[in-house]
């Protein structure tokens, strides 16, 4: 009796907390909740016969970043509703959660990306079933799970370039949007640029090819020029299933543009020009020319007869 009473109280605690935190986002089929206060939730087992709620992960452990297939049931009362699957304790920064559509048989299936930022260690799974219009929900938690092994890229996303200022044109692409061999239909990407004021959001979508690849592009908005942080979330969608939620703060970074610097220009300097100097020109000098001298040489008398002197005897 005491155990049954504790179980009922635990159910109500989880149901109330989850309803408060997730009702609006689950009804809208949003990518993921932004916060939750579910750390004091129930101690129920993985199967709840009274409410027909079950959750079955494909494995009891997986590495960070991997895509973990999950299936379960919410029961006949939640046909066409939403099942929100969460890793517990819930880490708002990592966002280890995923809203999955409930089919006509009250079942859900999908692939949860184990958050790359989640530390290695023991966790548990919880599921919250919500029926739109009825505003009712029931929760179940307690499925053991362990994050173990080296990180992997189960849902790779690439941005080229991976950083830039406002106005930068960016090509965005990804792969891995395949669940149990079946490619999904559309990739839904949400970019959030966190500024000093309201955040700047971009919602993008792209078709997924037969290999699970997709590609799209965007231009960094002018309003995001002062963004200090930007993050990206990705969900691969199909009418009856979903893969996600991948969240990363490292896919693209906004670069601040420094104001242009004006180089200090010194005023032109005028070189001091000395007045032209006139070289002193001396008047031309006339060289003194001596009259030619006639040299009397011995040759001048050659062949000549000396005059005869008078005989004085």
Is residue 296 over pLDDT 90? Answer: no
Is residue 289 over pLDDT 90? Answer: no
Q: Specify the CATH number for 1-152; select among 2.60.120.10, 2.40.50.1070, 2.60.40.1930, 3.40.50.720.
A: 2.60.40.1930
Mean pLDDT, all residues of the chain: 76
The whole-number average pLDDT for the span 262-273 is: 64
pLDDT value, residue 18: 43
What per-residue string of b and e applies to 217-253 under the rule 16 or more CB within 10 Å gives b?
A: ebebbeebbebeebbbbbbbbbeebbbbbbbbeebbe
Q: Where in the chain is the domain with CATH 2.60.40.1930?
A: 1-152
pLDDT digits (tens, 9 = 90+) for 195-210: 888 999 999 999 999 9
**What topology is assigned to 155-257 in CATH?**
Immunoglobulin-like (2.60.40)
Q: Where in the chain is the domain with CATH 2.60.40.10?
A: 155-257
219 vs 291, residue with greater confidence: 219
The whole-number average pLDDT for the span 65-78 is: 90
pLDDT value, residue 72: 94
This prediction has a pTM of 0.68
């Amino acid at each position: 009796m005491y155990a049954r009473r504790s179980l009922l109280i635990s159910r109500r605690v989880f149901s109330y907390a989850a309803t408060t935190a997730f009702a609006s986002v689950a009804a809208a089929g949003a990518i993921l909740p932004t916060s939750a206060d579910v750390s004091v939730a129930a101690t129920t087992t993985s199967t709840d016969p009274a409410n027909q709620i079950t959750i079955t992960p494909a494995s009891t452990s997986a590495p960070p970043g991997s895509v973990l297939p999950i299936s379960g049931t919410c029961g006949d009362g939640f046909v066409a509703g939403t099942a929100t699957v969460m890793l517990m304790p819930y880490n708002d920064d990592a966002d280890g959660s995923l809203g999955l559509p409930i089919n006509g048989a009250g079942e859900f299936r999908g692939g949860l990306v184990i958050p790359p930022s989640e530390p290695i260690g023991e966790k548990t799974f919880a599921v919250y079933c919500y029926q739109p219009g009825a505003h009712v929900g029931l929760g179940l938690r307690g499925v053991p799970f362990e994050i173990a092994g080296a990180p992997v890229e189960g849902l790779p996303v690439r941005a080229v370039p991976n950083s830039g200022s406002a106005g930068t044109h960016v090509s965005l692409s990804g792969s891995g949007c395949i669940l149990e061999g079946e490619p999904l239909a559309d990739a839904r990407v949400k970019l959030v640029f966190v500024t000093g004021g309201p955040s700047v959001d971009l919602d993008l979508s792209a078709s997924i090819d037969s290999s699970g690849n997709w590609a799209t592009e965007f231009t960094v908005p002018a309003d995001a020029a002062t963004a200090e942080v930007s993050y990206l979330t990705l969900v691969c969608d199909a009418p009856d299933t979903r893969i996600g939620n991948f969240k990363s703060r490292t896919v693209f970074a906004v670069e601040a543009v420094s104001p242009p610097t004006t180089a200090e220009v010194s005023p032109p300097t005028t070189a001091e020009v000395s007045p032209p100097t006139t070289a002193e020109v001396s008047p031309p000098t006339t060289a003194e020319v001596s009259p030619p001298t006639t040299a009397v040489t011995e040759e001048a008398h050659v062949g000549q007869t000396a005059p005869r002197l008078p005989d004085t005897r």
